[in-house]
């Protein structure tokens, strides 16, 4: 599928706007197609190549709810930075992100949920700073899971996503994550890409940055939340992300004659 001509033009204009350009992208559902089990997710080789090329001409960062080690293993791309664990871990030194130390509390919640949902298809994903409870295999678990997580210990919060509820330290979020990237790179122009509710804070952070901004909602089927689409400038199919990245590389490498 070819990119919409108007969107292609907007991407070219963004690439030729105030420098430097920062491209901040979500990982799952945006760079990596959604799969049934999160441990099976992969960023396609063509996308890794596109990211690597882009990182030679722009600042590129992956902003994800995955922990840093997992994210870096999924996208081992030279020159790409990471803000992981929903804004609680970064691949670079930053004073912007909140400090965390709540792993015991998170483990207590995890053990409790594992006991209560022992005989169900609930998927439990332990991460470095959080735990994600996936009900993709049985969406009817949404209501009982939400009820079980209604009252969390102080210092923790609940983060809903696409067929997942995640428990993580309070604070952080992708708005905070983008703030750390803006502080580091001082971008004149920003492209942000995301597919889920957690990404809306990053979209809003980009718009508040004062730079030139383009926000793309990534669609991978019918489950992209309406809030994500509403907060974006355009919607792009997940299979078109490589094309978006490649178009930026081309525009950045070959500016039009002045
Ligand atoms: Mg996502």
Kindly report the CATH number assigned to the domain that includes residue 135.
3.30.70.1020
Interatomic CA distance for residues 3 and 188, integer angstroms: 24
At residue 239, does pLDDT exceed 80? yes
Instruction: For residues 125 and 59, state if they share a domain.
Output: no
Instruction: For residues 74 and 191, state if they share a domain.
Output: yes
For residue 20, count CB atoms less than 10 angstroms from its CB and return exposed for 0-12, middle for 13-18, buried for 19 or more: middle
Domain count, the chain: 2
At residue 222, does pLDDT exceed 80? no
Q: Is the dihedral angle over the CA atoms 66, 70, 76, 81 positive or is it negative?
A: positive
Q: Which domain holds residue 91?
A: 5-97+172-253
Over residues 177-188, mean pLDDT? 96
> pTM for this one?
0.89
Task: Note the pLDDT of residue 257.
Answer: 64
pLDDT digits 0-9 by tens, 3-57: 999 999 999 999 999 999 999 999 999 999 999 888 999 999 999 999 999 999 9
Over residues 82-92, mean pLDDT? 95
**258 C-alpha to center of ligand 1: Å?**
38
Which of 112, 138, 169 is at the close of a domain?
A: 169
Residue from 100, 72, 18, 59 nearest 183 by CA: 59
Interatomic CA distance for residues 31 and 77, integer angstroms: 13
Q: Is the residue at 130 inside a domain?
A: yes
Confidence of residue 209 (pLDDT cuts 50, 70, 90): very high
Which of 169, 192, 210 is at the close of a domain?
A: 169
At residue 232, does pLDDT exceed 70? yes
**234 C-alpha to center of ligand 1: Å?**
16
Task: Note the pLDDT of residue 128.
Answer: 87
Interatomic CA distance for residues 54 and 163, integer angstroms: 31
Instruction: For residues 58 and 186, state if they share a domain.
Output: yes
What is the C-alpha radius of gyration for the chain, rounded to an integer number of angstroms? 18
Average pLDDT, the chain: 94
**155 C-alpha to center of ligand 1: Å?**
24
Task: Note the pLDDT of residue 99.
Answer: 74
**65 C-alpha to center of ligand 1: Å?**
8
**29 C-alpha to center of ligand 1: Å?**
4
Which of 139, 169, 199 is at the close of a domain?
A: 169
Residue from 234, 174, 228 nearest 206 by CA: 174
Interatomic CA distance for residues 126 and 66, integer angstroms: 10
Q: Strand locations in 16-163, DSSP E?
A: 21-25, 59-63, 80-84, 89-90, 123-126, 131-134, 156-161
pLDDT digits 0-9 by tens, 188-205: 999 999 999 999 999 999
Q: Is the residue at 258 inside a domain?
A: no
Interatomic CA distance for residues 24 and 6, integer angstroms: 21
Over residues 152-159, mean pLDDT? 94
At residue 115, does pLDDT exceed 90? yes
Q: Is the residue at 226 inside a domain?
A: yes
**202 C-alpha to center of ligand 1: Å?**
12
Instruction: For residues 132 and 85, state if they share a domain.
Output: no
Over residues 164-175, mean pLDDT? 93
CB 94 within 8 A of CB 111: no
């Amino acid at each position: 599928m070819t990119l919409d001509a108007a969107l292609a033009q907007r991407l070219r204009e963004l690439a030729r706007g105030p420098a430097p350009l920062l491209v901040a992208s979500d990982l799952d559902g945006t760079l990596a197609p959604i799969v049934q089990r999160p441990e099976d997710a992969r960023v396609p080789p063509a996308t890794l190549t596109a990211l690597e090329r882009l990182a030679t001409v722009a600042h590129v960062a992956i902003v994800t709810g995955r922990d840093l080690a997992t994210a870096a293993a999924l996208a081992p791309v030279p020159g790409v930075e990471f803000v992981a664990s929903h804004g609680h871990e970064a691949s670079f030194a930053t004073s912007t992100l909140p400090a965390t130390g709540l792993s015991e509390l998170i483990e207590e919640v995890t053990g409790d949920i594992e006991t209560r949902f022992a005989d169900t298809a609930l998927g439990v994903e332990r991460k470095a700073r959080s735990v994600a409870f996936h009900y993709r295999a049985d969406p009817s678990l949404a209501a009982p899971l939400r009820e079980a997580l209604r009252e969390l210990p102080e210092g923790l919060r609940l983060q809903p996503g696409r067929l997942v509820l995640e428990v993580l330290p309070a604070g952080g979020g992708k708005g905070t994550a983008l703030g750390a990237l803006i502080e580091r790179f001082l971008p004149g122009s920003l492209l942000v890409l995301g597919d889920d509710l957690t990404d809306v804070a990053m979209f809003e952070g980009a718009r508040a940055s004062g730079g030139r901004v383009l926000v793309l909602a990534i669609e991978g089927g019918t489950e992209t939340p309406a809030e994500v689409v509403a907060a974006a400038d355009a919607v792009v199919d997940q299979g078109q992300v490589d094309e978006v990245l490649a178009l930026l590389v081309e525009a950045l490498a070959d500016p039009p004659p002045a």
